[in-house]
Amino acid sequence: MDALRTVTRDIDTNSTKISARGVQVHYGDTHAIKDVDVDIKERSVTAFIGPSGCGKSTFLRCINRMNDTIDICRVTGDIRIDGDDIYDRSIDPVQLRARVGMVFQKPNPFPKSIYDNVAYGPKIHGLARSRAEMDEIVERSLRRGAIWDEVKDRLHAPGTGLSGGQQQRLCIARAVATDPEVLLMDEPCSALDPIATAQIEELIDTLREKYTVVIVTHSMQQAARVSQKTAFFHLGNLVEYGDTDDIFTNPKDRRTESYISGRIG
């Protein structure tokens, strides 16, 4: 029976990539994340869903310490990647962000050429020793971003001249250029049309062969399509976390059911 299923949602490995325990986030007096525990599997796509203000983006931003850049934000608890505490004093956030790449809601290419957009990360991290090596990294990254064929003849044209969907794929290429282990995506398709969205979703599915992908999305159908695991956040709590198939057909918590079926919860 399983052999006949066309969609395999299995995760190849069972090992945990990101593990969070007792994570709390405060913005000044606001308690934004309340005691979240979660284990995110290696080489899988995990979707964070929930209503606006539920804390899903805040939690995502804890994973590469983007919240450090906000003065009034205080993160406590334990977040580990491959067992290493990423909030340890010895960890350099800049190095961490090379390991944990991020793609944002609105495509934000640098006002530079397509080539330089991708080469930027490897350059500051000293990943290429020669021009030829850099060319190779740029091509490989653009291929992983599924945009190489569309831009290979105009690598020195400005990245901002691309269409929205192409810009977003360029940003994904830029994020994978430093060869990260984890890719965080904060509503990567919300500014894109359905065709560009489908292309990004297709790309996400191939990215999970190499990376651990965590995606925040407001589109429930997108979460159902691209992810193997889904976490539902509500009022700062992680309400339910499980296999995507189960969450969307038979959620255990009434709040999850209310949210995903479009009811007033």
Partner 1 sequence: MDTKHISSAFDRDLQGAQAMLMTMAAQVETAMLRAAEALATNNLEMAETVRKNDRAIDELEEGIKIDCARILATRSPNAGDLRTVLTVMSIASNLERCGDYAKNIAKRTSVLADAHPVKDVSPALRRMQKAVVAMMGDALDAYTRRDLEIAQEVRERDREVDELYNTLFRSLLTHMMEEPQSITACMHLHFIAKNIERMGDHTTSVAEQVIYLVTGELPDEDRPKGDLTSLSSPESFGDPA
Interface characters, 34-53, with partner 1 (x: CB under 8 A): --------------------
User: What φ, ψ does residue 35 adopt, rounded to 5°?
Assistant: 55, 60
- For partner 1, give the closer residue by CB, 150 or 257: 257
Q: Name which of 76 and 249 has its Cβ closer to partner 1.
A: 249
- DSSP track, 10-45: --S---EEEEEEEEEEEETTEEEEEEEEEEEETTSE
| Those residues with Cβ within 8 angstroms of residue 161's Cβ, 6 or more apart along the chain or in another chain | none
Burial class (CB in 10 A: 0-12, 13-18, 19+), 140: middle
CA 157 to chain centre: 27
Binding mask 184-223 for partner 1 (x = CB under 8 A): ------------------------------------xx--
Interior angle at CA 262, CA 256 and CA 263, nearest 5:
80
State yes or no: residue 93 binds partner 1 (CB under 8 A).
no
The residue assigned the tokens 């944990």 is 100
Least gap, CB of 249 to partner 1 (angstroms): 6
Q: Map the footprint of partner 1 across residues 97-116, applying CB under 8 A.
A: none
**Of 83, 66, 62, the residue nearest 233 (C-alpha):** 62
130 is a contact residue toward partner 1 (CB under 8 A):
no
Q: How far is the CB of 37 from partner 1 (least distance, A)?
A: 24
Q: Nearer to partner 1 by C-beta: 56 or 174? A: 56
Per DSSP, 111 falls in state S
The span from the CA of 241 to the CA of 255, in Å, is 12
If one asks whether residue 132 binds partner 1 (CB under 8 A), the answer comes out as: no
Binding string, 218-257, against partner 1, x = CB under 8 A?
--xx--x-----------------------xxxx----xx
Distance of closest approach, residue 200 Cβ to partner 1, in angstroms? 19
**Cα distance between residue 41 and residue 70, in whole Å:** 28
CB of 262: closest distance to partner 1 in angstroms?
5
Pick the closer one to partner 1 by CB: 69 or 250.
250
Q: Would you say 130 or 221 has its CB closer to partner 1? A: 221
The residues binding partner 1 (CB under 8 A) are: 220-221, 224, 248-251, 256-258, 260-265
